[in-house]
Structure 1
Amino acid sequence: MTRSEFDAWCAVLPAATHVIQWGGASVWKVGGKIFAICSSWDAGAGERISFKCSDLSYALLVQQDGFAPAPYLARAKWVQMQTSDALGDDDLRSYLAAAHNLVAATLPKRLRAQLRLDAGA
Structure 2
Amino acid sequence: MDRAGVGRVCLALPGAVLEHPFGDDHDAYKVGGKMFVMVGAMGGVSFKVSDIAYEVLTESGRARPAPYLARAKWVNLPDIGDWPDADLADHIRSAHAIIVGKLTKKARAELGL
TM range (shorter): over 0.9
Structure with max Cα Rg: 1
Give ranges in structure 2 of 5+ residues lacking alignment: none
Normalized per residue, the structure richer in helix is 2
TM-score of the superposition, structure 1-length normalised?
0.86
Runs of 4+ in 1 over 6 A off after TM superposition: none
* Alpha-carbon distance change, 115 to 73 in structure 1, aligned in 2, over 3 angstroms: same
Q: Distance in 1 between matches of 2:12 and 2:81?
A: 23
- 1:64 is displaced (CA, Å) by 3.4
Q: Distance in 2 between matches of 1:52 and 1:65?
A: 16
Equivalent of residue 53 in structure 1, options 49, 54, 66: 49
TM-score of the superposition, structure 2-length normalised?
0.92
Q: Distance in 2 between matches of 1:94 and 1:10?
A: 11
Give ranges in structure 1 of 5+ residues lacking alignment: 42-46
1:40 aligns to what? 41
Higher relative contact order (CA 8 A, sep 6+): 2
Amino acid aligned to 1:67 = A
- 1:50 is displaced (CA, Å) by 0.2
* Residue 10, structure 1, aligned to residue 10, structure 2: yes
CA RMSD of aligned residues (A): 1.3
Equivalent of residue 90 in structure 2, options 88, 94, 97: 94
Q: Distance in 2 between matches of 1:20 and 1:10?
A: 14
Q: Percent identity?
A: 38
2:28 aligns to what? 27
How many pairs does the alignment contain?
112
